[in-house]
Chain A
Amino acid sequence: MDFRVVDFVRNETKIFTDSDLNMEPPGNSNMALAKYTTSVNVGSAINALSLCQNSNKIVVAGRALLKIYEAEPQNQLKEIANLHMGRKQGLNMSSSDVVWSSKDENLIATAATNGAIVVWDLNAVGRNKQLAVLSDHRRTVTKISIHPKESTRLLSGSQDCTMRMFDLRKKESTGMFQSKADGVRSVEFSPFHYFMFAASFDNGSVQQIWDYRQSKTYLSQFLAHKGSVYTLNWHPDEDERNKIATGGRDNIVKVWETGTSHNKQISNIPTSTSVSAVRWRPSHKDQLATVSMMLDFSVNVWDLRRRFVPYAYFEEHNDVTTGIAWKQNDPEVLFSCSKDGTLVMHAMQDAIQPWKKIKTRGLDVGSRGLVLFAGEDSNIPARAQSPTGSGQNKLPGLFGWGVGKQDPEWAGSAPASPTTMDEIISETFVDDGFVYAAKHYLLNGPENDMSFRKLCEHNSNVAAKLGEFSVSRVWLILAEFYNSVVLLKQKMTSNFFPVPKTCSDATLDGTKRTENETKRNSVIRLQNTVVILLESLSVTFIQVEDYLTDIARGRHSEPDFYISDDENGLWGGATSDADFMYTQEWSLMGRVPTEAFEKSHIDAPSGMTNDSEAPKQKIITPHGGRWYETQTSTQDSSSPPTPTSMDQNSDPLATAFHVNVTIFTLTRYLAESGDVQTPVSILVAISSYPTNVTLEIPEAEAEHWFNSYLDLLFKHELFVQHAEVIKLSRLPSIRMLSSSSTIHTSCKVCQRRMPNSCSWSCDHRSKPDHKSPVLCFLCKKVVKTLYLYCQTCSFGGHLQCMQSW
């Protein structure tokens, strides 16, 4: 029996498609045209809609409304009939639901809030097309359904807790089904199970499946939702004939697999508002559309494989959407009606598809070089076909609609997905450079009988090996600066770097230029290194490169300066000299560190304000005209805008260049950028030599660096290095660390004072953990008096033992 019916339906479908094709003019452009979203305002709030069998006519019903619209091929909705005419309005006309007969195109039934069911015959002659009024229900009829095969069999569900079967030919009730539960919210014939229908109820917890031949009791019932189950829908596809979707006040859409013995929930979709209607999308086994009872006016289309975000949604309505229906032979079209009085024909291609905006991967670069990545596990296959079919999907195959992990609530029977879909991987840069550097830096020059330059070069190599090229440069600069100052034996007392002096001297005497040239070059080189250092610290390598080329060009252009200088001759000698410029910069760097960075023009055409002012000032000077020309020519050759600096500070005393402050700036910079190792190592290395070079570092700051570094060394268990740093430090507070001792006057476990000096244990000596006294690690005897121990490794013992050791 069943089988034959199914066959029949198949043929029917075929006929529809044929007629559909005949109806629509051939041609792709027209096909595409037929899929645009279009809407029509019907005049008043719509409560329900229904499509006729071939889906080209739509009936809409409301409180005083019953109209029929036709979907025209030209993408328009045209009103073809208004059944709400005449004065006979009454309560029978206040429709809560409407249904179009499945087979008979002229038969429509409406359900009224007063309990009446009105049957309409569209073929009837005259204005009154009412065929029958069935007023068996005592309260509001919430839902009616017409049998998919027998177009005269109508089922109704009502708030009076009953469902009734009507024969529209007899115009009378043929059967009644007691819900034994609560008001009926929804009834629907199964499209494929000939005798079966499902009903849902206000008390929500029960969803019943009936065989209408047995009016006594239902086939099965199960708990579906918390609160009212407002809607249910059988899947329209034959392959999915056992699937029912339900939606209710608990904001959840649930999908059930109905069977003869038991009904099983196979999926759920948590929506954000209560669900007033749910409709499966034809020929899509995993998609359904829902509308909400309040708050959310949009029509959402969900995909069960991506339960948490709608697959698509439509936002045409601006009041509560009351009904939805898919075009039966075209799943790309969805009709919806709303309290705002509009009937909309949606085209799926116009839907907003939020998943397109989803970022499916998370990425974060955290502290400590950690890279975090969150994504899907690759062994979940991406869906081969995009849910909408090709063409609309912008990223085919990329957006993996992976199968989510099953809800634990009902995962029991289903085999849990073995894959961990969501995993986070952290990657880290393995960094043991610190330990390596700590072990290999040479800090005590004199002990190793090394010159300061050698020591610096060694340390520079160590840093270079670690790839810390900036640190490596620092060491080289240090060697450059202090080689003449820091000697194995105390000789030098000057804190001043000699080169700038000679430079400024030289500028006054033009004959020394060649000699000067080389020195200048060395200064330039130094500056290069400093700049590289700073740049690489701030890690913008591109600028370094730019700068290097600038410097290179700058060198070429420098003779121009000389020429102009000589020609003008009056520009205060040193002020316009390129060499002086550099010394100027150095002095600036020494005095006003941050400003000096500016002057070292990390970017060739730096946007400093004085840059623009500078040329103006020059024009004002007596020799301005020509000087300005040369100035611009050099700038054109992309020379760094160094000349600008001379205008502000032409104080010749500034030539005195204080290296120490520069080094201080460097070390402080390093320390601030998170590297205490280098500054401390530099300080220790310098102080290991018997010089009186003192860096003007505030003691507190230096002490802070030392403490941090010592702490780090301790944590890495580098006790030897720890001790060495303490030993070589010149800071009294740090040195103190190595020269302290402790006398135990209390139990080391309970902190209780020792009873007397003769005892080596506290009163709780009976307890095992209090028993162990302080032992000398050399002679393994109890230390009763003076306990001397290393602050670093905390080994210690008798003073005598220590001394002998």
Chain B
Amino acid sequence: MVSVINTVDTLHEDMIHDAQMDYYGLQLATCSSDRTIRIFEVKNGTQRLLSTLQGHDGPVWQIAWSHPKYDKMLASCSYDRKVIIWKEQDGQWNKLHEYNDHDSSVNSVCWAPHELGLMLACGSSDGSVSVLKHHGDNQWEATKINNAHTGGCNAVSWAPAVVPGSLIEPPSQNQQNNFVKKFVSAGCDNLVKVWCEKDGRWEEEQKLQAHTDWVRDCAWAPSIGLPQSKIASCSQDRRVIIWTCDEATGGQWSSKTLNEFDDVVWHVSWSLTGDILAVSGGNNKVSLWKEKLDGDWSIVSDIKKGQQGSTE
């Protein structure tokens, strides 16, 4: 089922830290230690370099495409403590906004679900997480959560805007426009934290404790409105943990270890439907996981770079 369809030589001078496909899967953005972001057009198994974005003074850690509703925008964060929002106009990428209110390397950026407007969360090594909100006319309002994670924040991921359970219980009229405004962050304090906005302030809603080492990445699963929320987190302790929260059980999060890997787990990423979890571990391995009926997770596919994927 799984095969390597394409290998892109990005011509980056140093290590690549992130690669993201845009909403339509037509363009690929990569960012590298060499301070550049490269944008490729991926078509029919071939790719073409469209542009190289230069502007960061340090390795670029992560990039994020905005929802196409807000034109073609790309947010990037870097070791240089800056977050840059780029915008494409007539094929030209330009710096739209630069946010430099972090005191240390910014490790993660993530756009909020488009229902919430143009909003960006940034997690930094200085332990803080800031949320940038666009107010039109290139006015960006920043809200900073200080000391979100002692020792630094490694990843942020927004919760889907759909209210959990809204598929089953349609929200009543007066809360029709009430979207979920939550995100999850992972840090060097071995914690995963859930934040939610209350009266314009971000408050820590949950502290999820199970990892025994730095949490490298976290990802909130996309949802169509089922009552269950899912978060995947992966850590230096070589484990991937799936956190689930059921509205019915009173919003308590329960953890389940997906698997203990042989090596550090770097990234977790959900498929668009939220049913398949891709896990990238050491040794260039990517494995895909699917939840079985009994609640256990089984490996769907195990891909090692340069190999044909083996399927169960």
Contact = CB atoms under 8 A, between A and B. Distances in A.
Contact of B286 (A371, A539, A606, A607): A371
A427 B248 CA distance: 37
B239 interface: no
Nearest to B12: A422
A359 B294 contact: no
Interface stretch (B90-98, B189-197, B269-277): B269-277
Contact of B226 (A366, A594, A595, A602): A602
Contact of B2 (A307, A371, A407, A544): A371
Contact of A607 (B8, B248, B276, B295): B248
Contact of B5 (A398, A426, A540): A426
A496 interface: no
B211 interface: no
Interface stretch (B57-65, B112-120, B137-145): B57-65
B272 A365 contact: yes
A420 B236 CA distance: 27
Nearest to B288: A371
B7 A423 contact: yes
B233 to A, nearest CB: 14
A367 B24 contact: yes
Interface stretch (A89-97, A374-382, A683-691): A374-382
B52 interface: no
A29 interface: no
B157 interface: no
Interface in A373-407: 373-378, 394-395, 398, 402, 404-405, 407
Contacts of A308: 14, 33-35, 58-59, 79
A365 B272 CA distance: 7
B249 interface: yes
B301 to A, nearest CB: 8
A359 B5 CA distance: 24
A370 interface: yes
A272 B279 CA distance: 33
Contact of B7 (A270, A378, A424): A424
A394 B238 CA distance: 12
Contact of B228 (A309, A365, A594, A603): A603
Contacts of A366: 20-21, 25
Given A374-B30, A543-B228, A365 B278 contact: yes
B61 A358 contact: yes
Interface in B249-271: 249-251, 263-264, 266-271
Nearest to A399: B264
B304 to A, nearest CB: 8
Q: Is the interface of A mostly helix, strand, loop or mixed?
A: mixed
Nearest to A364: B20
A376 B4 contact: no
B305 A309 contact: no
A364 B21 contact: yes
B224 A427 contact: no
B305 A405 contact: no
A213 interface: no
B305 A375 contact: yes
A464 interface: no
B15 A404 contact: yes
Given A308-B34, A398-B264, A426 B305 contact: no
A669 to B, nearest CB: 9
A354 interface: yes
A407 B11 CA distance: 11
A571 to B, nearest CB: 25
Interface in B294-312: 294-295, 303, 305-306, 309
Contact of A426 (B4, B125, B226): B4
Contacts of A605: 248-249
A430 interface: yes
Contacts of B30: 362, 374, 422, 424
Contact of B165 (A402, A404, A539, A607): A607
Given A272-B58, A360-B15, A367 B249 contact: no
Interface string A532-565: 0000001111111110100000000000000000
Contact of B266 (A361, A368, A543): A361
Q: Which of B19, B79, B250 is most buried by chain A, counting CB atoms within 10 A of its CB?
A: B19
Given A363-B269, A375-B284, A541-B291, A354 B79 contact: yes
Nearest to B151: A357
A597 interface: yes
A606 B227 contact: yes
B269 A364 contact: yes
A780 to B, nearest CB: 35
Contact of B168 (A307, A359, A368, A606): A606
A429 interface: yes
Nearest to A309: B59
Contacts of B303: 371, 373, 425, 427
A607 B227 contact: yes
Given A395-B264, A545-B294, A538 B284 contact: no
B198 interface: no
A324 B254 CA distance: 51
Nearest to B154: A357
B168 to A, nearest CB: 4
Nearest to A372: B19
A307 B267 CA distance: 24
B44 to A, nearest CB: 12
Contacts of B6: 424-426
Contacts of A306: 14, 33
- 6 shortest interchain CB distances as A-B pairs: A539-B275, A366-B21, A607-B248, A363-B267, A598-B168, A545-B293
11 contacts: A362-B30, A365-B276, A374-B10, A378-B305, A378-B306, A395-B264, A420-B9, A541-B290, A595-B169, A603-B228, A611-B248
Interface of A: 270, 272, 306-309, 354, 357-378, 394-395, 398, 402, 404-405, 407, 420-430, 538-546, 548, 594-595, 597-598, 600, 602-608, 611, 673
